[in-house]
Amino acid sequence: MSNDTFKALLLEQNAEGKTLANIKQLTQSDLPDEEVLVAVDYSSLNYKDGLAVTGTGKVVLSWPLVPGIDLAGRVVESRSDAFKPGDAVVLTGWGVGERFWGGYAQLQRVKPEWLVPLPDGMTARQAMAIGTAGFTAMLCVMALEAGGVTPDQGPVVVTGAAGGVGSVAVALLARAGYQVTAVTGRESTHAYLRELGASEIISRDEMQQPSRPLEKQRWAGAVDTVGGPILARVLAEAHYGATIAACGLAGGYQLPTSVMPFILRNVRLQGVDSVMCPLAQRQVAWQRLGRDLPAQVLEGMIEEVVLEGVPEKAAQILKGQVQGRVVVNLQD
């Protein structure tokens, strides 16, 4: 990055409406007119980023756009009293990387209310190894706790367990003393999931089988990153009084179930949104991530790429070929 230009991944549309993703040299005059200028050290690759970069689905709402729903770095300039130059910050959500320019740029201007101070002892790289996926996982764990799910009540199941949200959820729950059952469609991830703390692994195929309205009770709680038939089965197999935290729909947005688990077993289905999560809850979640997720566990989830490697990884994450968390290094 020179004094005058910096590198960014820019999404544009051609005349046929196809998404074009190219590395461009930009200047500060190209950036949005927001109050805080951040030198971005790291970003990350989430499923939603994969959709945006590949042009799959209607994720991008403003053209042209720098994607990347996460970023972590240092404040360079600030017109806000909330931050000063040199402050280490992290940003997830708020429509960044969808409606507003995001983290796949070495410099970015953002609103101060989108930023959270980087927790003490956490590096920008670690923050992006967590990113939206890990932040969402913590919100799911907090939802289970709010629902009264405790480790002595029985197993907690995590669907899509080898993905970004699932990996962090498995690690957080296992460290908190829960017996974690991981659902995955890839046998190659079994050793990885056991290292994160999964005590049992079951196949995605088993959980995709159509369920009756009520099945044998198996789960005290769940973190579901998938939706669709798998979530329907998790609900049918939930214990009396269970809480299910649902945060994803990679397996479909429809839910083929009935009201029976909710009425006859007092099951709570708690939706979890990380995009518009209030600031106070964000701060609690990030502080807990800094405390509850050991650095060595986090390091074991990381695959690092440079900005030029993002398009290829974006295609892979949509095919379910990415394990753990992809961190994007923007310092080169």
CA dihedral over 169, 178, 230, 258, signed as positive or negative: negative
Question: What pLDDT does 23 receive?
Answer: 97
pLDDT tens digits for range 107-121: 999 999 999 999 999
- Boundaries of every domain in the chain: 6-118+301-329, 132-271
In DSSP terms, 156 is beta-bridged to 180, 221
Residue 269 scores a pLDDT above 90:
yes
Quote the CA–CA distance of 84 and 92 in Å, as a whole number: 19
Give the tens place of pLDDT for each residue, 225-237: 999 999 999 999 9
pLDDT of residue 2 exceeding 60, the answer is: no
pLDDT score for 211 = 93
- Please name the residue that has the structure tokens 């299910």: 244
DSSP state of 173: H
What is the reported pLDDT for 153?
98
Strands (E), the chain: 6-13, 19-26, 36-45, 70-78, 88-92, 107-110, 115-117, 156-158, 180-184, 200-203, 219-224, 238-246, 268-271, 302-306, 325-329
Percent share of the chain, pLDDT over 90: 89
SS3 250: coil
Q: Are strands 200-203 and 180-184 parallel, antiparallel or unpaired?
A: parallel
Q: In this model, does residue 324 exceed pLDDT 90?
A: no
Specify the pLDDT at position 66. 98
Residue 119 DSSP class: P
6-118+301-329 placed in CATH 3.65.10.10: no
pLDDT of residue 251: 85
pLDDT, position 4: 79
194 vs 323, higher pLDDT:
194
Superfamily of domain 132-271: NAD(P)-binding Rossmann-like Domain (3.40.50.720)
The whole-number pLDDT of residue 323 equals 85
Matching fold, domains 6-118+301-329 and 132-271:
no
